[in-house]
Structure 1
């Protein structure tokens, strides 16, 4: 229910209006934060339901979370609920997952990665007894990076080169010039343990052999806050955020594809939809892919830094092949999160990131949410998705032709390792290819995590949270600072608190009503 003041603001054309492009977690979090800061908010989503990469597929009685499944830093969600005078725990049931991941090597060796310090020491001692002390040093380094990279800088807007220069001494001290793999190698000798300590960067789209070691903070982040799962699926968090927005008087409009960000006198002033409708606004926030935003939504005449040439030449994350499937039986021995590694690690990543070659072998992430929440499948069944990192669309793969053979190869691999007899047990199936990332999710080049998180594309070097191109345009999501992953995109929305004026302080533009009671605004 809206309070009388919220109901009044919802239809009051004198209250500043914010249009948000995209309803991924970054966009939904931005909407809540702007709603709390005195804005009327309209969220526009091109799909038929909110969530973006957090979309939910329901098919044959199975519930498939399309994207994010590893929930860390729950306090970032708790903050959003607190801004609305509510408690996250009253609306969403977050359950800890243990182990965080079960890592299965190609030779059948397993490693249970968890937040239990003693259990982790035992696992390290079992896998690499000579590296127990080195593992502890790696974790200490991870904590030091977390204290600076996440706590101090994760919600700071890097708008000037001097902002970057100011943190360089800390980054050098923390060896941010190393790669994720390089920092692991400094502390541990065993190759398998090095893999265990570095695969997490792939969960945010980074190649551990080129991604800055700043992303090693993930190890401590997980240790401190744990890995969680929302009962009902990740979509429960999406539904909860939409409820918060509507409770503030905001709106979420689905099936609304934005074609252009409108600019007048150097400032964003609204958007034009595919239908031709124009929604005018005092501020525009894009949760669309950053490269897509600049390449396809903001006309070239308004871009000086993010030109077509620069966007094309930037380095992008890998893409993903995702197979969602339901089985008529259960596999109780399979963990909630499993990392199933192929015969190659560095060679496969070179194929994906450097050579842009679709290899015959693969490493997989297998998600079995019914290990925690059986309600996501019919009784006696299991819900899964499996994803394989693959090159983005520069590889030139014809996914219309290759998707089914690739899926069948993954099915065969799972049948031989984790899910015996799988082919005979599958009763529901759905696929997402790199082409789908571009066509359905507007991900430039089909890159699943936007720009690759190398040092030269981090912080100030990424597209800024406050657009460098036009006033009153802001960016949130994986392609801006601080980067991909749920903590990253939620933190990108947190940055807005520092750079978007409070609604009461925003200089208003001349306005007159148009359809749906939204103001037509022109920069003064």
Structure 2
């Protein structure tokens, strides 16, 4: 039972006259969205963030006038943000401008061939016809399949918790009808023949940490999701969305505490009752919402005596996403010919992904996602300059790579690759530089094994098989974010927070023990 201060009790009744208290661990997008939703439903909310600024993986770095979004760079379902602002009686558009990005991605193959992936139906047909003229009809069939998967996987299931095995049994017929047993690449290969087009239609699963050759084809819904709502970028960067959500929480009377790492989730009689900070401070709560990496949350924050399903053994045997090497850099001039999102594919596709996901080996070759936010918002760099980040998928720390030793050689290799392809003379232009390695994903961001997206999105680790949004281990403990259902990516983590609406009662209806 929680101990209430005398001021919390009314003079005429034994029932508390205060709003129930929710503690949210972590201020990533999932945690911030959860806090807004709880605040709108009458809860008093305290958000605890280990870092010195909000955002978690979406934190912001500022170096020599350049603004670097550390994490997410693609906004694909803006209505999920608009809904949060509307819950507070405000309009997202009045505070943050979301600008459409076109093309969505420019994909550059190793031979120099480029493919502009966009939301324009005719432009996409023309691009497919130029790349693989015999696959236009197959591409259309793939997109129709993506739409059917989207209508079930996103519209019907993305915001529905899977608390019981019967929830999974209920949707299995739909999943089998949609061939969820196929992989993302397998679904693409079932519709088109050209290997380059198969790559174009399957790489998106990497945006949520999944190997296209192992990830369930449910993630083919991304193709139609992008077509439905487009790809956007906020003026001011994705960090501007973090600031906006923090402002919503404060406007509701909630509290956001940075530099407050949680050391333990406290429990009494099988129910979460608060947290203990690393400083020793204890904060009582009626519910705890955890936005931390689910594997590390269970291993490090919840003592073993409270865990029946997510034991250390089970967590260690699970399959995890790849990690990332990210090089943030600025240039002294602008590069107007470069798209905002460019995928620079290396000489290998399947083989490289096998090295990353299965062999856990840092290969000599790599593919790079090059993000140029100043293509949409020049204000993210000093006047006349550009801001970039170059991201390369790499194995998680199960590879045994010593990133203290390998970080600079790998950064130099990425720089050489960029100089050889889209940024000649880059070495003479750099004005700011910093890196993020898998070791930092583990040590600074709390990712188990440095896996940037948590559990891998394979079928055996999806829906009911993922850590549940309503914890199986403790009453009053809820999970949001990439490590729970429905998974990684901004639409996924925002949808995980949306599930609280159906699981947590309104503050005025809270059943006090």
**Alignment match, 2:408:** 404
- 1:286 shift after superposition: 0.2
- 1:90 shift after superposition: 0.5
Q: 1:299 aligns with which of 297, 300, 303?
A: 303
Q: How does 1:254-293 map to 2 (within 5 A)?
A: 254-293=258-297
**Alignment match, 2:354:** 350
- 1:459 shift after superposition: 0.1
Unaligned runs of 5+ in 1: 1-7, 509-523
Q: CA RMSD in A?
A: 0.9
**Alignment match, 1:477:** 481
Mapped partners of 1:49, 1:411: distance in 2: 29
Mapped partners of 1:265, 1:507: distance in 2: 16
- Per-residue deviation, residues 252-294 of structure 1 (Å, max 9, x unmatched): 1000000000001100000000111001100000000000110
- 1:330 shift after superposition: 1.2
Mapped partners of 1:29, 1:404: distance in 2: 36
Question: Is the aligned partner of 1:28 residue 2:32?
Answer: yes
Q: 1:420 aligns with which of 415, 418, 424?
A: 424
**Alignment match, 1:74:** 78
**Alignment match, 2:18:** 14
Q: 2:168 aligns with which of 149, 164, 186?
A: 164
- 1:507 shift after superposition: 1.8
Mapped partners of 2:394, 2:17: distance in 1: 47
Mapped partners of 1:189, 1:136: distance in 2: 13
Q: 1:361 aligns with which of 365, 376, 379?
A: 365
Question: Is the aligned partner of 1:152 residue 2:152?
Answer: no
**Alignment match, 2:392:** 388
Q: How does 1:85-234 map to 2 (within 5 A)?
A: 85-234=89-238
SS at 1:135 equivalent: helix
- 1:331 shift after superposition: 1.1
SS at 2:155 equivalent: helix
- 1:237 shift after superposition: 0.4
**Alignment match, 1:514:** none
**Alignment match, 2:4:** none
- Per-residue deviation, residues 18-48 of structure 1 (Å, max 9, x unmatched): 0000000000000000001110000000111
- 1:501 shift after superposition: 1.5
Normalised to the residue count of structure 2, the TM-score between the two structures is 0.97
SS at 1:151 equivalent: coil
**Alignment match, 1:516:** none
SS at 1:38 equivalent: coil
Mapped partners of 2:96, 2:491: distance in 1: 17
Gap change, CA 1:13 and 1:243, over 3 Å in 2: farther
**Alignment match, 2:317:** 313
**Alignment match, 1:237:** 241
Unaligned runs of 5+ in 2: 1-7, 9-15
Mapped partners of 1:312, 1:22: distance in 2: 22
SS at 2:61 equivalent: strand
Mapped partners of 1:51, 1:242: distance in 2: 9
Mapped partners of 1:496, 1:208: distance in 2: 30
Mapped partners of 1:241, 1:353: distance in 2: 34
Mapped partners of 2:33, 2:336: distance in 1: 35
**Alignment match, 1:460:** 464
Mapped partners of 2:402, 2:63: distance in 1: 26
**Alignment match, 1:429:** 433
Normalised to the residue count of structure 1, the TM-score between the two structures is 0.95
**Alignment match, 1:370:** 374
- 1:506 shift after superposition: 1.4
**Alignment match, 1:486:** 490
Mapped partners of 2:509, 2:163: distance in 1: 21
Structure 1 residue ranges, 4+ long, deviating more than 3 angstroms after superposition: none
Mapped partners of 1:54, 1:500: distance in 2: 26
SS at 2:190 equivalent: helix
SS at 1:223 equivalent: helix
Mapped partners of 2:208, 2:282: distance in 1: 35
SS at 2:22 equivalent: strand
